[in-house]
Chains A and B, each alone.
Chain A
Amino acid sequence: MVKRGYRKERLDRGIKARSDDIFAIASWRETLYLILPRAAVIVSLLAFPLLKDVLGHYWQNVMLITCTIALLALSWDLLASVGLVSLGQALFFGVGAYLAGFLSRTFGWTPLLTIPASTVAGALLCTAILFPVLRLRGIYFGLITFALPLLMMRMIEATKILGGTEGLSGLPPLPDITFELYLVITAALVCAFGFKRLMDTDYGLVLRAIRDNDRSVLASGINIQWYKAQAVFIAALPGTFAGAFLTHHYQFVGMPAFALDFSILPLTSVVIGGAGTFAGAVLGAFILVPLSEVLRAFGTLRVVIYCSFLIIFTIGLPEGIFRFIERKYHQFERVVPLEEVRA
């Protein structure tokens, strides 16, 4: 008796194959196929602040935190695209947050000035801090980024600078919540699409090559330390921005800015959404943060819940949700019988 097996076959949809090419402009249908998913995301995000009467203050705040975590997740994803796996996004976040607090406390600048200033200066500072360790690879870079934010936290506690354990409070706020939402949503969108574009350029090609095989890039006569430093600077921008932004939102900055949460949440987001796609990082944050708000009633049990997510996704769906959805969108699957194998 011949045992018949079946296998799943995946094929690109015809429309995908056609619209990959220049023929996309030939028909509305194909153009929409490409634009619709992106436009839907952009429009619904930009429309969100207008719904404030429907959703209420609480969900607006959740949206705000979600976008901040999405920014940190994007920052993680960009670093990972250069092969620098970070376990401490809180470093970027904390540096941005403290810098914004410091600038506005010492010089009395308005938030509209401190946020851009501390975003750029913070990213420069983070690059300077990480520059000596950019030669490290793999887990060693991860370990050092894991320890750095915690070290910062202890240093602030021990030296009592920048408000010590009490932090800096009573900082000036941003104009209003609608403005804040538009600011952070725009930032997240710009980073998500901008990073994707960046990785598709020739410059991004070098960065990806460093991740895939740093020694051969080195052998091509490219200064990989310099490229890595640039990547760290670019990746630090959304992180420090998120920090500076939340500082002015809460009108407070303290040691929790370097806390483990700001390292774990972005990382979990990327793992859930799928690394290397940027859209996945955002998607992950939009699943994880609202979910953890819903689960708030469970206290610290929700940490256990999202740790289980982390484990399940790392093992079971390492490609992440985004790539899964993408595949479903672009391809169809069918079950076909296996060809008979003659012994």
Chain B
Amino acid sequence: MELVNVLVFGLVNSAVLALTAMGFSLTFGLSGVANFAHGGLYLLAGYTSWILANRLNLPFAVSAVLAVILAALLGALIYRLVLMPVRGIVLSEVIATFAVGVAILELFRWMGFVTYEFNLRPFVKGSVEIAGVAVDYQRILIIGIGLVLAAGLWYFTRRTRIGLALRGMAQDEYTALSVGIESDWAAALSLALGAGLAAVAALSILPLGIISINIGYDVLLIALAVTVLGGLESTTGLVAGAFILGYAMTFTSTYLGPQWMEAVYMAAIVLVLAVKPSGLFGKSKELEERV
């Protein structure tokens, strides 16, 4: 019985992790920018949707769409205003985006978004029993959204012109430039896409609980852990990383106690980086990451 529980919730947890990390991983894989504002954008989408739905009384669907669009625009804006001047200086990129993320989070904290009234409505209410375990529709929906997005991303980066252009940029910037792909445009687009994905993740995952500021910091760490574990630039690696981490977390939480859950993904970051920095499924690039 407990095992079934673990299996089912491990699956849900993996989908949550995959969804959370998708935006971060996409941006990192396509433009090499570690977008440390990921957590900030994630919560920004959640709060925006809440404000639109509860203060302006817009229908939930409209508020969700607006939140995603806003997050994507902000992502592109972050690239244009903050990242473009320091492009290529990895440390400055990380510091600048991290500062943006923390600024967003702490701004919301200052504005008083810290109480229990802040929760998003699930898309569908109710639950269903799978093999004797009650799972609510929202969790199933998360798995569905995760699958659709993963497939969509795979198609986008492999089969569409824009996706191929972005991947070309990631592989060799100069060659891509010489065939007419514009570097800044591609990077801005990858940030906008990443931010949009963060918003979609926020809108589907946040209804499972209340929105709190610290989620923003956790989201960044989870995104880091999954991305590092699965390796960059590959959707398969992302999904595999999410599954390993999702099940590892569910197992430790069930058999060792929930307080170990957060230690698991931190340990995953540290161990994987120490042993194989390109991730379990990443390809070479060995010399760039270590000597």
Q: Are B291 and A139 touching (Cβ within 8 A)?
A: no
Digitize A128-149: 1 where CB-to-B-CB distance is under 8 Å, 0 elsewhere: 0000110111111011101110
- Residues of B102-140 contacting chain A, CB below 8 A: 102-103, 106-107, 109-110
* Cα A143 to Cα B110 with chains together (Å): 28
Measured CA separation A85–B92 after assembly (Å): 11
Chain A interface main SS type:
helix
Q: A133-B274, A151-B267, A308-B103 are known contacts. Are A138 and B90 too (CB-CB below 8 A)? A: yes
- Residues of chain B with a CB closer than 8 A to A85's CB: 91
For the complex, is A314 an interface residue (Cβ under 8 Å from B)? Answer: yes
Question: Which of B160-168, B190-198, B236-244, B255-263 is found at the contact surface with chain A?
Answer: B255-263
A246 in the interface, Cβ–Cβ < 8 Å?
no
Residues of A within 8 A of B170 (CB): none
Does B248 lie at the interface of the complex (its beta carbon under 8 Å from any beta carbon of A)? no
Q: Which residue of B lies closest to A309 (CB)?
A: B99
Task: Give residues of chain B (78-101) contacting chain A, Cβ–Cβ below 8 Å.
Answer: 82, 85-86, 90-92, 94-96, 98-100
Partner-contacting stretch, out of A154-162, A280-288, A326-334: A154-162
Contacts A85-B91, A314-B95 given: A138-B289 contact, CB under 8 Å?
Answer: yes
A69 at the interface (CB under 8 A from B): no
Give the Cβ gap from B69 to chain A, nearest Cβ, in Å. Answer: 24
A136 to B90, CA, bound (A): 14
Contact A147 B94 (CB under 8 A): no
- Is A267 among interface residues, defined by CB-CB distance under 8 A? yes
B86 touches A264 (CB 8 A): no
**Which of B85, B86, B110 is the one whose CB lies under 8 Å from A304?**
B110
Contact assessment for A136 and B290 in the assembled complex, using a CB-CB cutoff below 8 Å: yes
Q: Does A264 lie within 8 Å of B102, measured CB to CB?
A: yes
Distance of A138 Cα from B291 Cα, bound (Å): 11
A136 partner residues in chain B, CB cutoff 8 A? 273-274, 277, 289-290
A5 located at the interface, meaning its Cβ lies under 8 Å from any Cβ of chain B in the complex? no
Q: Is the CB of B82 within 8 A of A311?
A: yes
Residue-by-residue, is A73-115 near B (CB-CB < 8 Å gives 1, otherwise 0)? 0000000000001010000000000000000000000000000
Check A301 for interface membership: any CB of B closer than 8 A.
yes
Contact: A215 with B110, CB < 8 Å? no
A115 and B263 alpha carbons, distance in the complex (Å): 29
Residues of A within 8 A of B100 (CB): 307, 311
Give which listed residue, A87, A144, A215, contacts B273 with CB less than 8 A.
A144
Residues of B within 8 A of A146 (CB): 224
Q: Which of A157, A218, A314 contacts B99 (CB 8 A)?
A: A314
* Chain A residues, CB < 8 A from B224: 143, 146-147
Residue in chain A with minimal CB distance to B218:
A150
Q: Is the CB of B110 within 8 A of A87?
A: no
What residues on A are CB-neighbors of B260 within 8 Å?
Answer: 154, 158
In the bound complex, CA of A151 to CA of B224 (Å) = 13
Judge if B270 is at the interface, Cβ distance under 8 Å.
Answer: yes
Shortest Cβ distance from residue B115 to the other chain A in the assembled complex, whole angstroms: 15
Interface size class for chain A? 35 or more
Cβ of A315 and Cβ of B266 under 8 Å apart?
Answer: no
- The residue in chain B whose Cβ has the minimal distance to the Cβ of A152 is B266
Known: A142-B91, A154-B262. A304 touches B273 (CB 8 A): no
Query: In whole angstroms, how far apart are the Cα atoms of A278 and B102 in the complex?
Result: 26
Alpha-carbon separation in the docked complex, A264 to B269 (Å)? 20
Evaluate contact between B259 and A157: CB separation under 8 angstroms: yes
> How distant is the Cα of A140 from the Cα of B91 in the complex, in angstroms?
11
List the B residue with the shortest CB-CB distance to A164.
B259
- Bound-state CA distance A87–B97 (Å) is 13
Q: Which of A144, A158, A298, A308 contacts B274 (CB 8 A)?
A: A144
**Chain A residues numbered 256-274 whose CB sits less than 8 Å from any CB in chain B:** 260, 264, 267, 271
**Contacting pair A303 B91 (CB below 8 A):** no
Contact B263 A154 (CB under 8 A): yes
Residues in B neighbouring A307, C-beta threshold 8 A:
99-100, 102-103, 106
Using known A-B contacts A147-B221, A150-B221, A310-B99, determine if residue A137 contacts B257 with beta carbons closer than 8 Å.
no
Complex interface: chain B residues within 8 A of A319 (CB): none
Q: Does B34 contact A (CB under 8 A)?
A: yes
Are A151 and B103 within 8 A (Cβ)?
no
Q: Are B270 and A144 in contact (CB under 8 A)?
A: yes
Contacts of B221 in A (CB 8 A): 147, 150
Q: Which residues of B contact A304 (CB under 8 A)?
A: 102-103, 106-107, 110
Residues of A within 8 A of B2 (CB): none
Chain A 199-230 against B: per-residue CB contact (8 Å), 1 yes, 0 no?
Answer: 00000000000000011001000001000000
A318→B95 CA distance, assembly (Å): 12
Extra 7 A-B pairs, beta carbons < 8 Å, given A133-B273, A143-B228, A146-B224: A87-B98, A158-B259, A214-B291, A304-B102, A311-B100, A314-B95, A318-B92
Nearest first, the 8 A-B pairs at minimum CB distance are: A151-B266, A307-B103, A310-B99, A303-B106, A154-B263, A147-B269, A307-B99, A135-B290
> Which residues in A have some Cβ–Cβ distance to B below 8 Å?
85, 87, 132-133, 135-140, 142-144, 146-148, 150-151, 154-155, 157-158, 214-215, 218, 224, 260, 264, 267, 271, 298-301, 303-304, 307-308, 310-311, 314-315, 318
Task: Report 6 cross-chain contacts, Cβ distance below 8 Å, ordered by A residue.
Answer: A140-B289, A143-B224, A147-B270, A218-B291, A224-B291, A315-B92
